[in-house]
């Protein structure tokens, strides 16, 4: 089994399109993931304005307010799932994009452990 990040992508200021589903679609998907045993962790994220960036620079640590990337596109939420392969991850991402009505990026975790 391999772990995958399903990252919900959003655009700052853009409205989430209406969908045919009812409210609670994401909650229903979360319950389905748990029931099927693929759920590892997930959640929605607060607005990017609440972010802090911590970076090391020449032995010093600098902490700044706001997002790291100056972009209108950002990760609004995510799931970490554990499934047999990419095809299974893409099936869950298909359900996820329908539930949250946002694009979902699928990325495998690096299996290497140092």
Give how far the C-alpha of residue 86 lies from the chain's centroid of Cα atoms, to the nearest Å.
16
Give domain status of residue 51, yes or no.
no
Give domain status of residue 61, yes or no.
no
What is the full per-residue pLDDT of the chain (114 aa) written as tens digits? 999 999 998 876 666 656 555 457 899 999 999 999 999 999 988 877 888 889 898 889 989 887 666 666 778 889 999 999 999 999 999 999 999 888 999 999 998 654
Give domain status of residue 12, yes or no.
yes
Q: How many residues does the chain have?
A: 114
Give domain status of residue 52, yes or no.
no
| Strand-pair partners of 61 | 56
pTM for this prediction: 0.79
Between CA 36 and CA 33 the distance in angstroms is 5
pLDDT, residue 34, reads 96
Range of the domain at 27: 2-45+71-108
């Amino acid at each position: 089994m391999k772990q995958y990040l399903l990252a919900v992508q959003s655009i700052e200021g853009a409205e989430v399109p209406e969908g045919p589903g009812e409210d609670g679609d994401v909650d229903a998907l979360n319950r389905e993931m748990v029931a099927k045993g693929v759920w590892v962790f997930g959640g929605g994220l607060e607005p990017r304005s609440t972010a802090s960036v911590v970076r090391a620079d020449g032995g010093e640590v600098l902490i700044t307010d706001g997002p790291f990337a100056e972009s209108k596109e950002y990760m609004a939420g995510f799931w970490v799932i554990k499934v047999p392969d990419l095809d299974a991850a893409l099936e869950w991402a298909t359900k996820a994009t329908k539930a949250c009505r946002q694009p979902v990026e699928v990325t495998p975790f690096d299996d290497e452990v140092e």
